[in-house]
Amino acid sequence: MTIYSASLTLFLVMDPLGNVPVFLSVLNSVEPKRRHRIILRETFIAFSILVLFLFFGQYILKGLNITEPALGIAGGIILFLIAIKMIFPKHEGQQDEVVGEPFIVPLAIPLIAGPSAMAMVVLLSTHQPNKLLGWFAALAIASIASTIILLFSTPLRSVLGKKGLYAMERLMGMVLTTIAVQMFLDGINQYFHLLK
């Protein structure tokens, strides 16, 4: 996997366009002046958590005796499930209501740094540990792109509308589905040594 493909995958997994309606709903009771500061704070916290998993996740896996093929297969399954949720999103009424100013939960975790994003960075670090700086750059690029989209969430909703945002999320889900299937096949191949 290249830095470009890793950045794209992480960006899709973070799902900033899909998170726009949720962010707007959660921050609805917060003063408009503070919204940008909260978004910057929450995205930075999410980035820090993912960096932690990027650099130390492999040691956690070694301690748990989890192999690379198992992580690849599990990562593919998790990404596939996330992609299915993006293609067939839940109804708005199912989102838990947050009272007051949010902190870490639910914006940083699990909306940005969710299980799939954590699994993805751990997979990158264990599959090619010699490219950690490259994966860090990919994570930074994906995080910056996600932050920009979330900062402009209000204008985005005005321009695209709810249907436009849902359409974009479904499109991102379709792309993520193919990436998930490829990760799953790579894990199977690595375990059974099917291809040289």
**Span 147-196, pLDDT tens digits:** 999 999 989 888 888 788 888 888 888 888 888 898 888 888 888 877 65
Domain count, the chain: 1
> From CA 121, how far away is CA 135, in angstroms rounded?
8
Is the pLDDT assigned to residue 94 strictly greater than 50?
A: no
DSSP string over 165-180:
HHHHHHHHHHHHHHHH
Higher pLDDT: 183 or 97? It is 183
- For the stretch 98-121, pLDDT in tens is 556 888 988 898 889 987 788 889
| Helix/strand/coil for 103 | strand
> From CA 195, how far away is CA 142, in angstroms rounded?
31
Q: What is the CA radius of gyration of the chain?
A: 17
Burial zone of 74 (CB within 10 Å; 0-12 exposed, 13-18 middle, 19+ buried)? middle
Which domain does 36 fall in, by range?
Answer: 3-192
Q: 110 is written with which tokens?
A: 């699990």
Average pLDDT score over the chain? 86
